């Protein structure tokens, strides 16, 4: 079965891209921030899980958290 023209597997099913397509975020960074805010309970569940540090470091959600760091862009040197 072919996907609908407005459905692109791996793109339109991505929750971050969905925020952009629905106009709920203006930039990719803003969309990721909104997604991470909504995913906070899942992030906490992952951190409390029996996963090893190596497994946690390779989990896509936690990789996104780590790529954003703990400081806002307005505090960065760039």
pLDDT tens, position by position, 6-16: 677 766 778 89
This prediction has a pTM of: 0.71
20-77 pLDDT per residue, tens: 989 999 998 899 999 999 999 999 999 999 999 999 999 999 998 888 865 555 555 5
**Residue 20 domain-assigned?**
yes
Q: Single out the residue of 54, 58, 75 nearest to residue 67, CA to CA.
A: 58
C-alpha 15, offset from chain centre: 8
Round to the nearest angstrom and report the end-to-end CA distance of the chain: 47
**Residue 22 domain-assigned?**
yes
**What's the total number of domains in the chain?**
1
Provide the 3-class DSSP secondary structure of residue 49. coil
Provide the 3-class DSSP secondary structure of residue 56. helix
Domain residues for the domain of 50 are: 15-67
**Residue 9 domain-assigned?**
no
Q: Which residues contact 30 (CB under 8 A, 6 or more apart)?
A: none
């Amino acid at each position: 079965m072919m996907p609908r023209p407005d459905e692109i597997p791996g793109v339109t099913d991505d929750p971050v891209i969905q925020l952009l397509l629905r106009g709920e975020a203006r930039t990719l960074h803003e969309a990721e921030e909104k997604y991470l805010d909504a995913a906070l309970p899942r992030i906490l569940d992952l951190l409390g899980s029996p996963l090893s540090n190596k497994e946690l470091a390779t989990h896509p959600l936690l990789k996104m958290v780590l790529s954003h760091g703990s400081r806002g862009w307005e505090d960065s040197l760039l």
